[in-house]
Amino acid sequence: MPVRRSVKAIIVGCSVALLAACGTAPPPVLVRPAAFTPIGLNAPYLYADVIGGRKSRAAKMRAAKIRPLDPGAASAYMAALDTELRQQTAGIGLDVLQVGNSVVVRIPAELTFDSGTSAVKPQFDATIHEIARTVKAKNQTYVDVFAHTDTSGTAQVNQLLSDKRAAAVATYLASHGVTRARIGSKGLGESAPLYNPETSEEQKAANRRVEIRLVPYTG
């Protein structure tokens, strides 16, 4: 039928135009270390208070005019956040984990940084953008960024490197629209390994990681 073919052609043409208008390359497909998901879910730091303390962080959130969640609505809010993050990061090699009442995005650090540096790789931009898009929209959460190293080098050097990496990811999220008042960052150096001892390069790679923890802001 000529009319049906014409309508179909218009639909296809619009779809192509919309895709072209987006202008954003898809995130790279990342390969995470083996056994990345099941390990490290009981680490004490993941259940600790938000970085810098809840009282101080809540004051910053109020100053930024971010409305707190009703405590009764927090569970459903975080469940929706978890679902959105899983959908947006599907197939790009990250892990979205439920830890207590928070949601943690775990990222292999070698996919974010070159060895020994704290400069975020340019090719990681599209992946961070996908995470930041949801984190920005779901703004009734604290955003904690943790960075870890393996045990290569000295503990002092590793601590400094992890501090810089955590701060770099925090700055990157802020540059993608996440309100800075929501974000805290902390390097944990080699103090919280997924594998201890490290017996292979794969285990070292798993220990080098960045985690973005989202905690409900209830005032």
Given this model, what pLDDT does residue 13 score?
A: 45
* 186-199 average pLDDT score: 92
DSSP code of 154? -
For residue 172, the Cα-to-chain-centroid distance in whole angstroms is 11
Given this model, what pLDDT does residue 54 score?
A: 97
Least confident of 3-17, 23-37, 46-60: 3-17
pLDDT tens per residue across span 87-134: 888 877 788 999 999 999 998 876 788 878 888 888 777 777 878 889
Where do the H-state alpha helices sit in the chain? 2-22, 44-47, 54-63, 74-89, 125-137, 155-175, 201-207
What token pair was written down for 103?
A: 């949601």
pLDDT tens per residue across span 206-215: 888 999 999 9
pLDDT of 163 above 90:
yes
pLDDT band at residue 10, thresholds of 50, 70 and 90?
very low
pLDDT band at residue 15, thresholds of 50, 70 and 90?
very low
- Name the more confident of 126 and 18: 126
pLDDT tens per residue across span 66-98: 999 999 999 999 999 999 999 888 877 788 999
pLDDT of 17 above 50:
no
Given this model, what pLDDT does residue 37 score?
A: 56
Second CATH level (architecture) for the domain 29-216: 2-Layer Sandwich (3.30)
Tell me the torsion sign for CA atoms 53, 55, 60, 66. Answer: positive
183: left (phi over 0), alpha (psi -120 to 50) or beta: beta
pLDDT band at residue 30, thresholds of 50, 70 and 90?
low
Are the C-beta atoms of 184 and 89 separated by less than 8 Å?
Answer: no
Instruction: Using a pLDDT cut of 70, give the percent of the chain over it.
Output: 82
Average pLDDT, the chain: 83
Contacts of 152 (CB under 8 A, 6+ apart): 158, 204
pLDDT of 140 above 90:
yes
pTM of the model: 0.82
pLDDT of 23 above 70:
no
Given this model, what pLDDT does residue 38 score?
A: 58
Rounded to a whole number of angstroms, the CA Rg of the chain reads: 20
What token pair was written down for 48?
A: 């600790």
